[in-house]
C-alpha cells in the first residue's frame, strides 16, 4: 500500500504541475494575442495612427504660392494631419528616391511634369521634374537604364536649362519602400494624359492617383487641388467622388481645357 500511496502522490504532483503549465501557457497566449491585436490595430511600426501629408513644392522655384501652402496646410491640420513641406531646392532625385519612407497618407506633388509622346498610350510617358540641374556626370547608370531623364520647361528645349526628371520606372524600381495606401496628387501638367505614371504609383502601394489629362496653369491647379483636399479630408469623400466634385465646381483649365482625373477609374 505504501508503494501505491507513493505512486498516487507522484501522479497528483505531476497532474498539478501539468495544470500549472497549461495555465501559464494560456496566460502567455492571452497576453500575446492581446499584443498582436493592439499591434494590428495600430499598424505596428509602419503605422502609428498619425495622419501624414506632404507638399512637395518644386513649382515654388518658378510659380511660388504662399497662400496655397498656408491654406492647404491649415485645412489638413484642422483634419488631424501632420503636414510636411518640401521647398523647391530640396526636391532632388534622392528626395524622390526616399519619398515612400515618409509614410504619407496624402502626397501633393506640386511639380512641373514633362510629357513625352509615344507611338501608343503605353509608350507615352510623364516625367516629374526635380530641381537638380542636369549633368552628364550624375546618375549615369540610372540614366542609361531609363530610370532618370532630362527635362526642360516648355519652350526651353533649345538652349534652356535642363533638369533631372524621374519617370514611371524610377517610381516602381528605384524608390525605396512602399506607399502603403497613399493618395498621390500630381498637380503638374499631363500626369494622366497616359497611365504609366499612375500605374507605377499604384503598383508601388498607392491606393489612388490624381492628375490632369493635359496642360494646366499653376493658378488653376492650385485652386483645384485646394478644393480637392477639402472634399477629401473635410467632406470625407472618396478620391474619385472628390475629384468629380472638384471638377464640377472648379471646372477644366480655362485656357488648356484640361480635366482633373483620378486613377484607377471606378467601375
| Segment 14-58, tens digit of pLDDT | 434 433 343 433 333 333 333 333 333 223 334 578 999 999 999
Share of the chain above pLDDT 90, in %: 72
**How confident is the model over 96-126, as pLDDT tens digits?**
999 999 999 999 999 999 987 654 455 457 8
CA atoms of 124 and 122, how far apart (whole Å) = 6
* pLDDT per position as a tens digit, 153-182: 865 544 568 999 999 999 999 999 999 999
Cell numbers that stand for 220 in this block: 488653376
Report the DSSP pairing between strands 106-109 and 113-116.
unpaired
Phi first, then psi: give them for residue 254, nearest 5 degrees: -65, -25
| Set of cell numbers at residue 90 | 530640396
For 126-148, how does the pLDDT look when each residue is reduced to its tens digit (9 = 90+)?
A: 899 999 999 999 999 999 999 99
Chosen CATH of 47-263 out of 3.40.1350, 3.30.420, 2.60.40, 3.40.50: 3.40.50
Q: Which of 226, 121, 222, 232 is nearest to 183 (CA)?
A: 232
Specify the pLDDT at position 120. Answer: 46
Amino acid at each position: 500500500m505504501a508503494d501505491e500511496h507513493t505512486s498516487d502522490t507522484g501522479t497528483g504532483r505531476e497532474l498539478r504541475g501539468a495544470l500549472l503549465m497549461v495555465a501559464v501557457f494560456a496566460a502567455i497566449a492571452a497576453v500575446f494575442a492581446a499584443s498582436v491585436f493592439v499591434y494590428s490595430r495600430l499598424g505596428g511600426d509602419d503605422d502609428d495612427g498619425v495622419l501624414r501629408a506632404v507638399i512637395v513644392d518644386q513649382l515654388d522655384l518658378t510659380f511660388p504660392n504662399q497662400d496655397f501652402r498656408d491654406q492647404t496646410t491649415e485645412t489638413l491640420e484642422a483634419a488631424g494631419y501632420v503636414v510636411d513641406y518640401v521647398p523647391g531646392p530640396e526636391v532632388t532625385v534622392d528626395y524622390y528616391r526616399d519619398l515612400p519612407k515618409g509614410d504619407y497618407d496624402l502626397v501633393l506633388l506640386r511639380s512641373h511634369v514633362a510629357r513625352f509622346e509615344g507611338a501608343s498610350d503605353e509608350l507615352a510617358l510623364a516625367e516629374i521634374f526635380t530641381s537638380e540641374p542636369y549633368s552628364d556626370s550624375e546618375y549615369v547608370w540610372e540614366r542609361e537604364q531609363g530610370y532618370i531623364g532630362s527635362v526642360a520647361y516648355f519652350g526651353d528645349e533649345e538652349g534652356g536649362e535642363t533638369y533631372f526628371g524621374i519617370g514611371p520606372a524610377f517610381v516602381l524600381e528605384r524608390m525605396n519602400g512602399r506607399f502603403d495606401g497613399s493618395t498621390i496628387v500630381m498637380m503638374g501638367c499631363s500626369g494622366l494624359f497616359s497611365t504609366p505614371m499612375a500605374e507605377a504609383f499604384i503598383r508601388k502601394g498607392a491606393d489612388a492617383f490624381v492628375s490632369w489629362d493635359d496642360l494646366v496653369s499653376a493658378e488653376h491647379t492650385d485652386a483645384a487641388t485646394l478644393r480637392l483636399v477639402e472634399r477629401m479630408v473635410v467632406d470625407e469623400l472618396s478620391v474619385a467622388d472628390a475629384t468629380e466634385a472638384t471638377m464640377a465646381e472648379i471646372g477644366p483649365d480655362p485656357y488648356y481645357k484640361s480635366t482633373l482625373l483620378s486613377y484607377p477609374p471606378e467601375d
